[in-house]
């Protein structure tokens, strides 16, 4: 069992303990992780919430990341955070609540080795170098990112995970390795004399955490799926204002490989269509997130999400080009010039992205396949000092990502 003493004593030098508890005649397995060139990470949480002892509803959250391996074992890309989907009569796409650029590192033995806010558990598995027999057990340090109020100020907490290799079984029609694990969360961590004890550098409203996690990890031996994790959670949080929250439920994590040739095909087909139709002010670029189609200098009514009539032919041509890849998912990102307040820029960029998304939906694309995000004037493509530069900053990007 997990104890507070273990939490204080473990080293972040990736040392682990390995004990075989299975007779030698059983076959062993050399487990390693596959490292695709591109990956999609989807973490979905469904948690029942109680606040100060009273039921406060269900928390549904999804974080999806698209990343590309640029060098060695590092993956660069972007994560998108979606809170519970808000649906009303005007809802024509799923809104992105927040997105962040991210770099992750994976190895043949460790999932998400580098620290990050997403996914929530970092440094998973630390697989022993020796072949594993069913029943083998080991321990390894990890980190968990805790953000119960969803205020983008997570507590990164060290934990010690106890693993158990359960053997091989059928999963989704293919053989997969099954690993079970558990750990406890405790915060604050008392001072320690151990020079290797992890340091928690956190300034925020979380005063204490106490909880337990039980994990099931599936590692398919073939196919596009790299790993699947189910985390059964029971956790209690106290805040500096005296509020107490309790979360109970589960988080599912899907780690899938994406085919680079699919991205190349998408980019090639869209580029050919744009070139053949001679569409002006549109560029296509491969990015770590996905194929990005940028529509420059869109003409809107001042400070409104209303396109001028002259933009209709260009949008029709773009819609025709994107019909070739309608099996994909589309992320529409709005940008504005840096004029006015940050809040007004963000609002306007979201509304303009939503307008372009509605144009896509009106041409037969399912709203369930469209996400929208506004970034205001935070990512200028040109200087805001001139009208020409501000015009270039009034742009919309459409990311095409493989499903």
pLDDT digits (tens, 9 = 90+) for 241-293: 999 999 999 999 999 999 999 999 999 999 999 999 888 899 999 999 999 99
Q: Which residue has the higher pLDDT, 368 or 15?
A: 368
Domain boundaries, the chain: 4-258, 260-401
What are the tokens at 384? Answer: 């805001």
Buried b / exposed e over 275-299, threshold 16 CB at 10 Å, is: eeeebeebebeebbbbbbbbbbbbe
pLDDT digits (tens, 9 = 90+) for 18-27: 333 344 345 6
DSSP assignment of 311-322: GHHHHHHHHHHH
User: Confidence class of residue 199 from pLDDT cuts 50, 70 and 90?
Assistant: confident
Residue 341 has pLDDT above 70, yes or no: yes
Residue 116 has pLDDT above 80, yes or no: no
Look at residue 16 in the predicted model and tell me its pLDDT: 35
The Cα–Cα gap between 121 and 111 comes to 9
What would the mean pLDDT of 113-137 be, rounded to a whole number?
89
Q: Are strands 370-374 and 94-95 parallel, antiparallel or unpaired?
A: parallel
User: Which of 248, 251, 239 lies closest to 55, judged by CA?
Assistant: 248
pLDDT digits (tens, 9 = 90+) for 85-97: 444 435 568 899 9
Look at residue 156 in the predicted model and tell me its pLDDT: 93
Helix, strand, or coil here: 369? helix
Average pLDDT of the chain to the nearest whole number: 88
The Cα–Cα gap between 123 and 141 comes to 7
User: Confidence class of residue 51 from pLDDT cuts 50, 70 and 90?
Assistant: very high
**Ramachandran assignment for 150, one of left (phi > 0), alpha (psi -120 to 50 degrees), beta (any other):** left
User: Confidence class of residue 128 from pLDDT cuts 50, 70 and 90?
Assistant: very high
What would the mean pLDDT of 230-234 be, rounded to a whole number?
98
Q: Which residues are 47's β-sheet partners?
A: 59, 249
Look at residue 130 in the predicted model and tell me its pLDDT: 82
Look at residue 402 in the predicted model and tell me its pLDDT: 85
Lowest mean pLDDT among 46-50, 244-248, 250-254, 359-363: 359-363
What are the tokens at 202? Answer: 């956190």
User: Confidence class of residue 29 from pLDDT cuts 50, 70 and 90?
Assistant: confident
Residue 360 has pLDDT above 90, yes or no: no
Look at residue 194 in the predicted model and tell me its pLDDT: 83
Lowest mean pLDDT among 37-51, 283-297, 356-370: 356-370
Mapped to the 3 state alphabet, what secondary structure does 226-247 carry?
A: EEEEEEEEEEEEEECCCCEEEE
Residue 325 has pLDDT above 60, yes or no: yes
57-63 long-range contacts (CB < 8 A, ≥24 apart) are 58/84, 58/249, 59/84, 59/247, 59/249, 60/84, 60/85, 61/150, 63/118, 63/119
What is the fold of 260-401? 60s Ribosomal Protein L30; Chain: A; (3.30.1330)
Cα–Cα–Cα angle for 159, 163, 168, nearest 5°? 150
Residue 132 has pLDDT above 80, yes or no: yes
The Cα–Cα gap between 79 and 105 comes to 15
Query: Taking the CA atoms of the chain, what radius of gyration do you get in angstroms?
Result: 24
pLDDT digits (tens, 9 = 90+) for 175-194: 999 999 999 999 999 787 88
Look at residue 55 in the predicted model and tell me its pLDDT: 96
Residue 226 has pLDDT above 60, yes or no: yes
What would the mean pLDDT of 25-33 be, rounded to a whole number?
74
What are the tokens at 133? Answer: 């027999």
Tell me the percentage of the chain whose pLDDT exceeds 90: 69
User: Which of 376, 373, 303, 305 lies closest to 343, judged by CA?
Assistant: 376
Mapped to the 3 state alphabet, what secondary structure does 98-130 carry?
A: EEEEEEEECCCCCECCCCCCCCCEECECCCCCC
The Cα–Cα gap between 217 and 18 comes to 18
The Cα–Cα gap between 384 and 382 comes to 6
Look at residue 26 in the predicted model and tell me its pLDDT: 54
User: Confidence class of residue 38 from pLDDT cuts 50, 70 and 90?
Assistant: very high
Counting beta carbons within 10 angstroms of the beta carbon of residue 29, is it exposed (0 to 12), middle (13 to 18) or buried (19 or more)? middle
Give, in order, the Cα–Cα distances in Å from 211 to each of 40, 146, 164, 186, 244.
Answer: 29, 11, 20, 7, 13
């Amino acid at each position: 069992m997990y104890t507070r003493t273990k939490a204080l004593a473990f080293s972040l030098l990736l040392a682990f303990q390995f004990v075989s508890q299975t007779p030698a005649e059983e076959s062993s397995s050399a487990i390693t992780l596959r490292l695709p060139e591109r990956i999609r990470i989807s973490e979905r949480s469904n948690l029942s919430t109680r606040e100060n002892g009273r039921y406060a509803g269900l928390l549904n959250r999804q974080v999806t990341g698209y990343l590309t391996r640029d060098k060695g074992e590092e993956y660069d890309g972007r994560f998108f955070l979606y809170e519970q989907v808000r649906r009303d009569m005007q809802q024509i796409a799923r809104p992105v609540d927040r997105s962040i650029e991210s770099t992750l590192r994976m190895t043949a033995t460790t999932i998400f080795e580098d620290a990050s806010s997403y996914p929530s558990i970092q440094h998973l598995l630390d697989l022993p170098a020796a072949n594993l027999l069913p029943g083998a057990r080991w321990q390894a340090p990890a980190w968990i990112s805790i953000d119960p109020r969803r205020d983008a100020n997570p507590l990164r907490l060290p934990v010690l995970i106890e693993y158990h290799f359960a053997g091989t079984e059928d999963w989704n029609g293919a053989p997969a390795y099954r690993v079970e694990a558990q750990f406890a969360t405790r915060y604050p961590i008392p001072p320690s004399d151990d020079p290797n004890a992890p340091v928690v550098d956190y300034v925020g409203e979380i005063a204490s955490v106490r909880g337990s996690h039980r994990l099931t990890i599936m590692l398919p031996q073939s196919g596009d799926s790299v790993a699947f994790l189910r985390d059964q959670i029971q956790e209690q949080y106290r805040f500096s204002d005296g509020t107490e929250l309790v979360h109970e439920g589960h988080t599912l994590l899907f780690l899938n490989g994406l085919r680079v040739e699919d991205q190349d095909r998408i980019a090639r087909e869209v580029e050919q269509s744009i070139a053949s139709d001679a569409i002006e002010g549109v560029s296509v670029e491969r990015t770590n997130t996905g194929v990005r189609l940028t529509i420059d200098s869109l003409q809107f009514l001042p400070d409104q999400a209303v396109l001028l009539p002259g933009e209709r032919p260009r949008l029709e041509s773009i819609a025709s080009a994107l019909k070739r890849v309608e099996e994909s998912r589309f992320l529409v990102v709005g940008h504005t010039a840096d004029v006015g307040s940050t809040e007004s820029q963000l609002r306007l960029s979201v509304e303009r992205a939503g307008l372009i998304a509605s144009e896509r939906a009106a041409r037969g694309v399912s709203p369930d396949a469209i996400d929208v995000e506004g970034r205001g004037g935070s990512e200028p493509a040109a200087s805001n000092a001139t009208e020409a530069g501000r015009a270039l900053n009034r742009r919309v990007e459409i990311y095409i990502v493989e499903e």
